[in-house]
Each structure stands twice: as C-alpha cells, then as structure tokens.
Amino acid sequence: MTKLPTTEAALRQHEAEEVWAAIGRLVGDQDIESLTPDEFVDLALAATPLFPADLRRRITEYRRYAPGGDVLLLRGLLPDSVAFPATASSPSQQHSGPAQRAALLLAGVMVMFGEPFNYSTLYGGRLVQNMVPVPSMEFTQTSQSSTGMLDWHCEDSFRDDRCDYAGLLCLRGDPSGASMYAQAKDVRLSADAIATLREPRFHVRPDPAHVLSGDVQMRRIAILSGSESAPEIAYDTHHLAPIDDDDLEAASALRELGACLDKVAASHVMERGDLLIFDNKRVVHARTPFDARFDGTDRWLMRVMVCGSALTFRRWGQRVPD
C-alpha cells in the first residue's frame, strides 16, 4: 500500500491561529446549532474569504483540474492551542464550544466546491456529521464501525444524486485507523471486465446508515461510466451485486475490480487538523480497523458532503432532500 497520491497544501501554525480567531469573530456569540441549514451555509460563505489566498487558489486548481489526482489533502487547519471537547458519541450529536467553530471552518472550505447538503434519511439530515465509533456498531459497514474493516465504497452509490465531493476534517486522530483511497483512473482491468462493468448489469441496495421507510427498490447501475481517461465509479463492496444471480461474467468482473482496488490502494493516517477531500464520483474509500475506547478520546472526524451541480441542487429545492 502506498501513501496517498494527492494534491497537498498546509497552513502554517500562525495562519491557522489567524483563521481560527477570524472565524470566532464571525460567529460572535451565535449558537450555530440554532441556525437553519441555509443560514449555516450563508455563514460558511462568509467564512471562506478568511482563509489565506494561496489555500483558496490551491482548492480552485484542484476543483477545476485535479492536477495531482482526485484527492486533496489540506493540513494544519486547526491550531494546536485549541482544546476540543470529548469525542462526539454519535454521528448526529450536536456540536458545542470549539467543535462548533471547527464545523464552520470545515463548511467554509467545502462551500468552495458547491452546495453543502445532506439527505433527510441520513444522521438526522445534519450538514456536518460526526464520523465516530459507536458501541455495538464496531463491525458494521458504516462510519460508526471501529474494530471491523470499513470496506471499499463510494458515498451513497444507491442514489443517482450522490454527492460530488466529501470532506473529512480530523479533530482527533488514531494512529491505527488509516483512511484508504483508490482512484478509478488508476485501476487496471481487463478489456472484458471494463466492458462488463460499463453495462447496467448490477444493482445496489441502500446504505444501512440511512433510515428508510417502506420497501426500497434496488437501484440498477453500471459500475463504470464516463471517459476512459477520467472514469467515474459507483461501488460498494457489500451492497452491490449482479442483477442476475447466474450472470457469471458480471460476478467475475466485480471480483476483478475488487482485487484491482486493493492493488492501487493508498492510505493516510488522519491527524488533527487534516482535511481530506475526495471526488466521490471518481474515488472509492475505506478505513482500516482501530480499537475504540469509548472514553471521549476516540478518533473524531467531521464530514460535509457537497453537490457540485447547480441544476441538481435547484431540482431538490432544499438543502436536506428526502
């Protein structure tokens, strides 16, 4: 496994302190948790100019051209002087104190990629979710797992309006919990497998993190799409299968893809202040196991998902669609 091939940028410690203080002045005595989703994003838009111009330029270059790959790593965004509260106990737990400011900092970066959003069925519709271990969820295929491997997946492959980008900000790291990524363009498949994976011979069931009512239809998909030089991918190790159980060709192509993802895997151990942003249409990701203590000191990432299409966002008509 290699280190993450990515575009990388970093704030110096004094820059992180200045950004943190400026965001504090912007927030004032507001309780961010009392804001509506749209009000929160408006505040995030006001926070964006507070970041150094060079950092904003690097983000724009990545969004336009992805010169170093489909993953962007920003480092040093949180000053060392800030003491965060105990790790959140659930993905939907409200933020308090410095965690509120960290959530706004994350959104202030992510709004440069488009419209932050969430689905009403996922973690209470919160725009900034906590990626934290939860007791009894250790071996699930959700962000609440810990002891078990969180296998290869894209965010919400079962939806045709899944996010274009996702950003993960580390408030508290764990040296054994590495984030893993594989870019679709790096995968080397046989011609037969590529042809099969580009046909809609597969279906995917919903992510178990979503709270859905009634019977949910499996979505029919092609796993690969787009150009040969910059292919898009929809993938989930555990929730994707050939539509026809007897389609041995499709099953073989899936196995080949899984093996190839492992071969091109890159990893990064998230440290405090790291913000990892990835193109959810061109990257699959995973996470290695780690031991959760459930004592307030566990690994804590915050996540924001972004819709990069103005047309899709307008079609929803709201920031938290069903």
The DSSP-derived string for 32-97 is GGGS-HHHHHHHHHHHGGGS-HHHHHHHHHHHHH-TT-SEEEEE--S-TTPPP-SPPSSTTPPP-T
Residue indicated by tokens 């870019």: 183
Q: Fill in the DSSP letter of residue 112.
A: G
Residue 109 inside a domain? The answer is yes
What's the pLDDT score for residue 2?
64
What's the pLDDT score for residue 3?
64
Residue 182 inside a domain? The answer is yes
Neighbours of 90 (CB within 10 A): 14
Residue 200 inside a domain? The answer is yes
Q: Fill in the DSSP letter of residue 256.
A: H
Q: Is 303 annotated as a binding residue?
A: yes
Residue 322 inside a domain? The answer is no
Residue 321 inside a domain? The answer is no
What is the number of structural domains in the chain? 1
pLDDT tens, residue order, the chain (322 aa):
666 656 789 999 999 999 999 999 999 999 999 999 999 999 999 999 999 999 999 999 999 999 889 999 999 999 999 999 999 999 999 999 999 999 999 999 999 999 999 999 999 999 999 999 999 999 999 999 999 999 999 999 999 999 999 999 999 999 999 999 999 999 999 999 999 999 999 999 998 899 987 777 789 999 999 999 999 999 999 999 999 999 999 999 999 999 999 999 999 999 999 999 999 999 999 999 999 999 999 999 999 999 999 999 999 999 999 9
Q: Is 155 annotated as a binding residue?
A: yes
**Amino acid letter, 238:** H
Crossing angle for the helix pair 37-47 and 13-27, to the nearest 10 degrees: 140
Between CA 143 and CA 153 the distance in angstroms is 11
Query: CA torsion sign, 120 to 126 to 127 to 130?
Result: negative
Residue 149 inside a domain? The answer is yes
Q: For the chain, give the number of residues.
A: 322
- Please give the torsion angle defined by the CA atoms of residues 24, 25, 30 and 36, in that order, rounded to the nearest 10 degrees: -80
Q: Is 285 annotated as a binding residue?
A: yes
Angle at 131 between CA 129 and CA 132, to 5 degrees: 125
Burial class for 161, CB neighbours closer than 10 Å (0-12, 13-18, 19+): middle
Domain that holds residue 72: 2-316
What CATH number does residue 308 fall under?
Answer: 3.60.130.10
What's the pLDDT score for residue 55?
97
Indicate whether this model's pTM tops 0.95.
yes
Residue 10 inside a domain? The answer is yes
Q: 223 and 284 in contact (C-beta within 8 Å)?
A: no
Q: Is 196 annotated as a binding residue?
A: yes
- Tokens coding 60: 């724009």
Q: Is 299 annotated as a binding residue?
A: yes
- Tokens coding 171: 């408030």
